[in-house]
Amino acid sequence: MLVLLARAISGIILPEGFRAVVFDAQRQELDEETKDAEFYVPAYMGNSRIFEVVSEMPKLKYVQLLTAGIDKTVGYIPPGVTLMNARGVHDSSTAELALALALASLRNLTGYIRAGSQAWSARSGRPSLYAKEVAIIGAGSIGREIARIFGALGARCTLVSRTGSGGSMRLDQSGALLADADVVVLVVPLTEATRQLADAAFLANLKDGALFVNVARGEVADTQALLAEVSSGRIAAALDVTDPEPLPSDHPLWNEPNCLISPHVGGATDAFIPKARELVEKNLARIAAGERPLNVIEGDY
């Protein structure tokens, strides 16, 4: 089996009879050899070309993503091709960033940085995560890791999902929870059902002083509605993702003292490559053994 690999995970251990070629769809064209690939690992980050090339691989059987979200693949994966995501690869890194964003906001670290040498005069008592009510919307592996590490600091975490699976609360029954939550974390996949989930009504339901953290996708939130709430001072926001993305340099969110923004770096740590290599190696080994690969995406998305 010919495997096309993203450069970041070149050098992985292959099963007997498998052969790998490093391929960069944004800089290379498929040739007679690479068109015969049966297993394709697109780059972690890239433009639509990394998925457009799938239509040029007539023998393709598997696409292994290095992202947890699959929203960028919609419309590109033909029937009969098995799609797998990177569930588990980004759990710790994204949860760490969610915690860092929350703590930086709650403890006013960005305010102290802006104050510079005057930071001593800006000291004040600030909220802790201890005993705070945290609603985590998204009960997948990343959401559960966020709950674990927030809980280790004494936060009371409730997982929320669309279906209420795995002991989580159903989203359509979570209004009272969200209205009482001190911190609301979004970590849902981007689908038509979750697009602009955090709209004006959702944000208006959050209590005064709540912290809204988005480590999902920018399009899950209504940017204008979020700007209105943050600029009023009623709530604070900590965002790893925005809509649009990158957020234009003149966008008013940059100037809001109640808004902390990081440039979509939730999974961008040195934990990514070893975990990604391990997942790809496991799935190739399972395929070689005639077993079902891990993280297969099924049904509508």
Residues identified as active-site: 217, 245, 264
Amino acid type, 43: A
| Rounded Cα gap, residues 52 and 269, in angstroms | 27
Token pair of 2, please?
Answer: 């010919």
Cβ atoms of 66 and 59 within 8 Å: the answer is: no
**CA-to-CA dists, residue 197 to 22, 159, 186, 223, 233, angstroms:** 38, 16, 10, 11, 21
